[in-house]
């Protein structure tokens, strides 16, 4: 060791000394620490014994039940605390929404931040029913924060609650179409609006939204419940499948709720209300309803100025169909408000639909049911346009029937054999295909393919199109 550097020898000695000190200090793990001496107190009294450490306390069996009950009570207290915190967060959210509607954006954001902080501090077990409430509230708060930030980036002149009926060359162009080549379609759409118009206006009043929005289905679908666009949008409000799902419209083998005017109206009003909250004015909201909020936001962001000053300054930069959408809507409302001004006499609207509901629980073809009840098949299909196969589904379903025929419907269904819908396979059209060739290949007819796929002609197929091919049965 004599050749080792001096600082290494000093370090070795220090380590040995430290190890020896730690080994000699205190009891060894296997030894029991010595009991402290009990010194007599004045007067010869002996002090009470020192209690054992808390972690060594042994709970007697007869007391364990009491302790377990106390733990359960504590869990209940924690659950109540979580529920109370979520309720407080919801109250803050509601207050923030009112502040947002009054134009007080900064206080609204502060309340939303506080509400978000509350739910972040809530600790909920993964198996608790409150967990879903927490997630729902988190999404709601996040949506409102995004909306307020969008409005702050894109402030709008005016209060944004009324739909401005602008008069310009683009509106005039649409008026000329409605009073000219599209006159018959416009008049028929106005006539069909009577079936649902009163109910739609009632929903708009309840939601505090402009009643003029009830005429939006005129330009969307001519008020046809089964209208289908080239973009696969469906129903009087023209929802695509993903947006319909986003607002609660279900789609399965039997039912497509986008074609139900009542259910689709509720979804459309939710969507429009959110768009109005997001953009702050109805012209931008209507444009976004047609092409999506993302497309409108990108156009706004691409301006030389960083806010939305006037919708008409940017609308021509939107997609062609969207650029026409707002002036087309304004033209519709203008004509309906004063048809004589535009040389039109609008027809008498159809009477509002009236119906009862029968709860059915087996697949039944509407045409067979109508024949059994002595009705026209159209009476049932017009009341239930969401039924994709004109058949009730294989589960409990609220079937709309003419007033007073609920009991008769249930009796008729009980006597009708269960409907078994045909099975389908899909075929993707290739270049050079014709409907006749496809029909021969799968042992069916051209007319069956046209009806099954809702085609307008035997020539309207194209490469890449997906066709439904019914089974041979």
Is residue 17 included in any domain, yes or no? no
Q: Are 131 and 173 part of one and the same domain?
A: no
What is the rounded distance in angstroms from the CA atom of residue 365 to the CA atom of residue 421? 9
- Determine contact, residues 327/173, Cβ cutoff 8 Å: yes
Choose the weakest-confidence range: 80-84, 160-164, 261-265, 303-307: 303-307
Look up the CATH number of the domain holding residue 125: 1.20.58
130 pLDDT tier (thresholds 50, 70, 90): confident
**Among 342, 369, 384, residue at a domain's last position:** 342
pLDDT tens by residue, 337-367: 999 999 999 999 999 999 999 999 999 999 9
Is residue 30 included in any domain, yes or no? no
Q: Are 178 and 286 part of one and the same domain?
A: yes
Q: What is the mean pLDDT of residues 133-144?
A: 77
Kindly list the distances between the CA atom of residue 198 and the CA atoms of 185, 221, 338, 348, 402, in Å, as whole numbers in the listed order. Answer: 21, 18, 19, 14, 19
pLDDT at 185: 97
**C-alpha closest to that of 364 among 405, 416, 423, 424:** 416
**Among 415, 438, 456, residue at a domain's last position:** 415
Q: For residue 401, what are the β-bridge partners?
A: 356
Top-confidence residue, 139 or 52: 139
**Which contacts qualify for 416-420: CB closer than 8 Å, 24 or more apart?**
416/364, 416/368, 416/369, 416/372, 418/362, 418/363, 418/364, 419/362, 419/363, 419/364, 419/365, 419/368, 419/391, 419/392, 420/363
What is the rounded distance in angstroms from the CA atom of residue 96 to the CA atom of residue 144? 9
- Determine contact, residues 400/357, Cβ cutoff 8 Å: yes
pLDDT at 8: 41
- Determine contact, residues 265/214, Cβ cutoff 8 Å: no
Q: Are 402 and 267 part of one and the same domain?
A: no
Highest mean pLDDT (candidates 102-111, 361-370, 434-443): 361-370
Residue 401 is given by DSSP the state E
Q: Which domain holds residue 174?
A: 169-342
- pTM of the predicted structure, to 2 decimals: 0.63
Relative to beta strand 466-470, strand 424-428 is: antiparallel
Q: For residue 424, what are the β-bridge partners?
A: 470
Kindly list the distances between the CA atom of residue 123 and the CA atoms of 14, 82, 93, in Å, as whole numbers in the listed order. Answer: 50, 7, 19
187 is catalytic: no
Q: Are 145 and 174 part of one and the same domain?
A: no
Q: Are 441 and 397 part of one and the same domain?
A: no
Highest mean pLDDT (candidates 99-113, 270-284, 311-325, 355-369): 355-369
What is the rounded distance in angstroms from the CA atom of residue 308 to the CA atom of residue 292? 17
Highest mean pLDDT (candidates 18-32, 187-201, 424-438): 187-201
pLDDT at 151: 58
Q: Are 132 and 233 part of one and the same domain?
A: no
Top-confidence residue, 459 or 273: 273
Look up the CATH number of the domain holding residue 465: 3.10.350.10
Is residue 312 included in any domain, yes or no? yes
Q: Are 182 and 296 part of one and the same domain?
A: yes
Kindly list the distances between the CA atom of residue 424 and the CA atoms of 5, 228, 470, 473, in Å, as whole numbers in the listed order. Answer: 90, 21, 4, 10
206 pLDDT tier (thresholds 50, 70, 90): very high
Choose the weakest-confidence range: 22-31, 106-115, 251-260: 22-31
304 pLDDT tier (thresholds 50, 70, 90): low
Is residue 162 included in any domain, yes or no? no
- Token pair, residue 282, equals 């109805």
Give yes or no for residue 219 having a pLDDT over 80.
Answer: yes
Relative to beta strand 356-360, strand 397-401 is: antiparallel
Give yes or no for residue 306 having a pLDDT over 60.
Answer: no
Is residue 33 included in any domain, yes or no? no
What is the rounded distance in angstroms from the CA atom of residue 304 to the CA atom of residue 179? 38
pLDDT at 76: 39
Give yes or no for residue 452 having a pLDDT over 50.
Answer: yes
223 pLDDT tier (thresholds 50, 70, 90): very high
Cβ contacts of 198 within 8 Å, gap of 6 or more: 352
Q: Is 282 exposed, middle or buried (0-12, 13-18, 19+ CB in 10 A)?
A: buried
Give the containing element (helix H, strand E) for 359.
strand 356-360
425 by DSSP, 3-state: which? strand
263 pLDDT tier (thresholds 50, 70, 90): very high
**% pLDDT > 70, the chain:** 77
Q: Are 73 and 212 part of one and the same domain?
A: no
Q: Are 201 and 318 part of one and the same domain?
A: yes
Is residue 115 included in any domain, yes or no? yes
Give yes or no for residue 313 having a pLDDT over 80.
Answer: no
Top-confidence residue, 420 or 205: 205
Give yes or no for residue 18 having a pLDDT over 70.
Answer: no
**% pLDDT > 90, the chain:** 42
Is residue 215 included in any domain, yes or no? yes
**Among 94, 128, 153, residue at a domain's last position:** 153
- Determine contact, residues 306/153, Cβ cutoff 8 Å: yes
- Determine contact, residues 431/399, Cβ cutoff 8 Å: no
Q: Are 177 and 269 part of one and the same domain?
A: yes
Q: Are 175 and 269 part of one and the same domain?
A: yes
**Dihedrals φ, ψ of 33, to 5°?**
-60, 145
Which of the residues 212, 220, 293, 386 is marked catalytic?
220
Q: Are 408 and 461 part of one and the same domain?
A: no
Total number of domains in the chain: 4
């Amino acid at each position: 060791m004599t050749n080792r550097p001096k600082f290494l020898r000093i370090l070795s000695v220090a380590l040995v000394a430290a190890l020896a000190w730690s080994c000699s200090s205190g009891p060894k793990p296997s030894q029991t620490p010595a009991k402290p001496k009990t010194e007599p107190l004045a007067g010869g009294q002996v002090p009470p014994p020192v209690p054992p450490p808390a972690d060594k306390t042994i709970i007697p069996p007869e007391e364990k039940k009491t302790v377990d009950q106390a733990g359960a009570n504590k869990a209940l207290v924690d659950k109540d605390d979580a529920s109370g915190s979520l309720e407080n967060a919801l109250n803050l959210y509601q207050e923030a929404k009112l502040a947002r509607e009054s134009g007080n954006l900064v206080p609204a954001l502060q309340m939303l931040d506080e509400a978000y902080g509350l739910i972040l501090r809530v600790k909920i077990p993964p198996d608790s029913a409150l967990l879903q409430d927490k997630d729902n509230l988190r999404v709601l708060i996040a949506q409102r924060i995004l909306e307020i930030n969008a409005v702050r980036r894109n402030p709008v002149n005016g209060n944004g609650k009324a739909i401005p009926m602008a008069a310009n060359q683009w509106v005039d162009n649409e008026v000329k179409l409605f009073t000219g080549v599209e006159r018959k379609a416009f008049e028929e759409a106005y006539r069909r609006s009577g079936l649902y118009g009163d109910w739609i206006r009632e929903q708009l009043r309840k939601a505090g939204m402009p009643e003029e929005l009830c005429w939006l289905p005129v330009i969307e679908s001519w008020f046809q419940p089964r209208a289908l666009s080239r973009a696969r949008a469906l129903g009087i409000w023209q929802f695509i499948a993903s947006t319909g799902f986003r607002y609660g419209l279900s789609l399965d083998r039997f039912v497509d709720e986008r074609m139900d005017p009542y259910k689709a109206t509720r979804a459309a009003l939710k969507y429009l209300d959110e768009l109005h909250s997001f953009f702050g004015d109805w012209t931008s909201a209507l444009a976004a309803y047609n092409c999506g909020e993302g497309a409108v936001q990108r156009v706004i962001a691409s301006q030389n100025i960083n806010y939305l000053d006037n919708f008409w300054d940017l609308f021509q930069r939107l997609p062609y169909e969207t650029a026409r959408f707002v002036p087309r809507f304004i033209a519709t409302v203008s004509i309906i408000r004063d048809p004589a001004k535009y040389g039109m006499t609008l027809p008498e609207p159809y009477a509002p639909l009236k119906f009862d509901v029968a709860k059915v629980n087996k697949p039944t073809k509407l045409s067979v049911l109508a024949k059994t009840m002595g009705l026209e098949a159209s009476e049932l299909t017009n009341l239930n346009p969401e039924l994709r196969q004109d058949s009730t589904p294989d589960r409990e379903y609220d079937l709309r029937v003419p007033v007073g025929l609920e009991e008769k419907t249930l009796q008729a269904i009980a006597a009708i054999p269960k409907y078994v819908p045909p099975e389908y396979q899909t075929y993707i059209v290739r270049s050079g295909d014709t409907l006749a060739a496809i029909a021969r290949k799968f042992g069916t007819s051209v007319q069956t393919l046209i009806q099954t796929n809702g085609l307008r002609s035997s020539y309207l197929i194209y490469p890449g199109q997906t066709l439904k091919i019914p089974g041979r049965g």
